[in-house]
Amino acid sequence: MATKKPKSSAKSKTTRTTKPKETKKVEKAEVIASKTECKSCFAGFFSKKYEEKESILTIFKNHKFYGALLGEIIGTLLVTLLLFALSLMGLSSIATYSFAVIAIFVGIYAFSGACLNPIITVGMMATRRMSVIRGVMYILAEIVGAWLGWLIFNSFHLAGGDTAYAVPAMAEVAEGQFFVIAMIEMIAAIIVAFFYARALKYKKSVFTFAAVVAGGFAFVMVVSYVISAAFLGVNSNFIVNPAAALMFQIFPSAGENFGEIFGGICQALSIYVLLPAIGGVLGFYLSDFAGKLSSED
């Protein structure tokens, strides 16, 4: 009996000493699992999200690509006509504008995904949702579509002779207002791109997708119009669409010398093209970053 007691005590010691080791192993496993979960949260953040086989050698062989380009031309043409009409009708037509944007995006979405804005296209390329060759061709198609929209609108204006309305143009940026207008244009581009990126989550329901996009555009136009009119004293300095902005006579047509004209061109490109494009990229990345943090599929 005396020899058995030490054995039992040895067993109890071993059981007492093994329990803390097991709990430590479990805690370490939980820490490692949490770290790997954080790493996997951002896994594939910069990975390709478009078709792997798409390249400059294959994209032009697909007839669907030409349908997509035609869709971008038609859609941007309609958006440009709408913006010209909205510029003449004023802020009271925002509700009509929203319904029109929904109709355009629903009608064009099946062709090309309905980017219809170089801001969106640049954001899609930067976040690798779209190949570079497709994005460049989309931007060219959007510029052509905007030019056709301006051509149609201006043709009717010229056919009407002397009328009370002139073809809308961007107001000249006053001295000291460059930074303010540029920042508002860039912030508006971030919001538009963010809404579009969020709308892509609902792409199975085309109407929901179009409604989210239209809501983002309407929100930006109302806020930009109110801020520019109330604080800056101008009523037509925000388009948030570089392709359409080029048709609103943003470049100076006269100047005292070449340096003044060139400076005006660089200023217009910075406000209406470069900064909105940067804003589009930031808007898409902001959406992706928020989605990754929330572990959104």
Q: What is the pLDDT of residues 237-253, one digit of tens each?
A: 788 899 999 998 888 87
Q: What pLDDT is attached to residue 208?
A: 92
Residue 50 near residue 130 (C-beta atoms within 8 A): yes
The percentage of the chain sitting over the pLDDT mark of 70, rounded to a whole number, equals 80
Pick the more confident residue, 252 or 44. 252
The mean pLDDT of the chain is: 82
H and E: helices and strands count for the chain: 10, 0
Q: Phi-psi category of 113—alpha, beta or left, where left has phi over 0 and alpha has psi -120 to 50? A: left
For residue 179, what are the CA distances in angstroms to 126, 186, 232, 263? 25, 10, 12, 15
CA 204 from chain centre, in angstroms, equals 19
The yes-or-no verdict on residue 7 having pLDDT over 60 is no
Q: What is the pTM of this model?
A: 0.81
Question: pLDDT, tens digit, for every residue of 165-222?
Answer: 777 788 777 777 888 888 989 999 999 999 999 999 888 889 999 999 999 998 988 8
35 has pLDDT over 60: no
- Average confidence (pLDDT) over 50-61: 79
**H-type helices in 113-177, by residue range?**
118-126, 132-159
232 has a pLDDT exceeding 70: yes
Q: Give me the pLDDT at residue 193, please.
A: 95
Tokens of 249: 């006579």
Q: What per-residue confidence (pLDDT) applies to 30?
A: 56
Angle between helices 132-159 and 118-126 (to 10 degrees): 180
- 68-109 residue pLDDT tens: 999 999 999 999 998 888 887 765 567 788 899 999 999 999
